[in-house]
C-alpha cells in the first residue's frame, strides 16, 4: 500500500528544490571573471572534495502483506552526512556518501518502534562547468543499506527484519566556490532500500523506504 508524503514533507522537498534551482541558475551568469581567476574556480583530475551536509530524509514508503493492512509508516529524520569525492577526470568523479539515521515505524494498532539505518552509497558523478565557480553535477550509483539496533515489536513480541539490502541511487546537486578551497553545496538524492519483516517466524511483508534525501552544506577542495 502506497503511503503519501505529509504536507510538511512536501514543503521540505519543495524548499530544497527551490534552493537547488537558484544555485543552478547562477551557472548561466557571465563567467568571464571566474574563468580568469584560477585561484578560486575549477576542479581538476586528482582533486579530492569533502562535503559536510545537514540532510533531511523523507521516506516514500511502500509495504506489502500484513504490513499494508496495518498501515505501517516510517518517520522523517534530519542528520549530518559526510561525503568524499575523488575526481578521476576534470569532469568525472567518484563519490562515497556516509551517514546514519534512526527511524520510527508506526502502525494503525500501535507497536513497532525504532531501527537504525546505515546506507553507504557509491556514485559516479558528472560535473558540468568544471572550470567555473558554479558547478552543477549529476550522479548515479549503488547503495548498500545496513539495518541495525532493531527495536521493533508488536505487543511484547519482537519483530525480526532482514539486516541489509542493495539498491540504486540517483543524485543532482551544485557546488558554488567561495574561496580557493571552500565551497557551498546543495544536493538531492533518491535512494532505494527495503527490509523484510517477520513475527515468530511468520512473514509480515516488506517495507520499501525509498527516501528522498535533501541536503545543504559546505565543502573543502584538496
pTM (2 d.p.):
0.79
**Which secondary structure element, helix H or strand E, spans residue 214, and what is its range?**
strand 212-221
Pairing of strands 113-118, 101-106: antiparallel
pLDDT (tens digit per residue) in 166-178: 999 999 999 999 9
**Which secondary structure element, helix H or strand E, spans residue 203, and what is its range?**
strand 202-208
Task: Say which CATH architecture domain 7-26+44-221 belongs to.
Answer: Beta Barrel (2.40)
Q: What is the pLDDT at residue 156?
A: 85
Q: What is the pLDDT at residue 32?
A: 37
Confidence of residue 28 (pLDDT cuts 50, 70, 90): very low
Nearest by Cα to 212 from 189, 180, 195: 189
* Three-class secondary structure of residue 3 per DSSP: coil
In DSSP notation, 114-158 reads EEEEE--EEEEEEETTTTSSEEEEEEEEEEEEEEES---EETTEE
- Res 27 pLDDT > 70: no
Confidence of residue 155 (pLDDT cuts 50, 70, 90): confident
pLDDT (tens digit per residue) in 42-64: 899 999 999 999 999 999 999 99
Query: How far is it, in rounded angstroms, from Cα 194 to Cα 51?
Result: 27
HSE-up (13 A, CA, CB side) for residue 61 = 28
- Res 7 pLDDT > 80: no
Question: What is the residue whose three cell numbers read 580568469?
Answer: 36
The CA distances from residue 216 to 79, 92, 132, 139, 146, in Å, are: 11, 22, 20, 17, 24
Give me the residue spans of the domains in the chain.
7-26+44-221
pLDDT (tens digit per residue) in 70-125: 899 999 999 999 999 999 999 999 999 999 999 999 998 888 999 999 999 999 99
Amino acid at each position: 500500500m502506497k503511503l503519501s508524503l505529509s504536507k510538511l514533507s512536501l514543503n521540505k522537498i519543495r524548499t530544497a528544490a527551490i534552493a537547488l534551482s537558484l544555485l543552478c541558475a547562477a551557472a548561466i551568469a557571465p563567467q568571464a571573471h571566474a574563468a580568469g581567476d584560477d585561484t578560486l574556480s575549477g576542479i581538476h583530475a586528482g582533486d579530492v572534495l569533502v562535503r559536510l551536509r545537514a540532510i533531511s530524509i523523507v521516506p516514500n514508503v511502500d509495504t506489502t502483506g500484513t504490513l499494508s493492512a496495518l498501515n505501517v509508516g516510517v518517520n522523517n529524520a534530519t542528520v549530518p552526512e559526510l561525503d568524499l569525492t575523488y575526481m578521476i577526470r576534470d569532469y568525472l568523479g567518484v563519490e562515497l556518501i556516509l551517514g546514519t539515521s534512526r527511524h520510527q515505524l508506526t502502525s494503525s494498532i500501535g507497536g513497532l518502534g525504532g531501527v537504525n539505518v546505515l546506507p553507504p552509497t557509491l556514485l559516479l558523478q558528472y560535473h558540468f562547468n568544471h572550470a567555473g565557480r558554479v558547478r552543477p553535477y549529476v550522479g548515479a550509483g549503488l547503495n548498500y543499506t545496513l539495518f541495525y539496533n532493531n527495536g521493533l515489536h508488536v505487543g511484547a513480541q519482537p519483530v525480526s527484519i532482514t539486516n541489509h539490502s542493495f539498491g540504486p541511487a540517483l543524485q543532482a546537486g551544485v557546488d558554488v566556490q567561495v574561496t580557493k578551497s571552500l565551497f557551498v553545496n546543495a544536493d538531492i538524492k533518491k535512494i532505494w532500500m527495503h527490509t523484510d519483516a517477520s513475527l515468530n517466524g511468520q512473514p509480515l511483508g516488506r517495507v520499501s523506504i525509498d527516501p528522498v534525501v535533501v541536503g545543504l552544506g559546505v565543502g573543502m577542495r584538496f
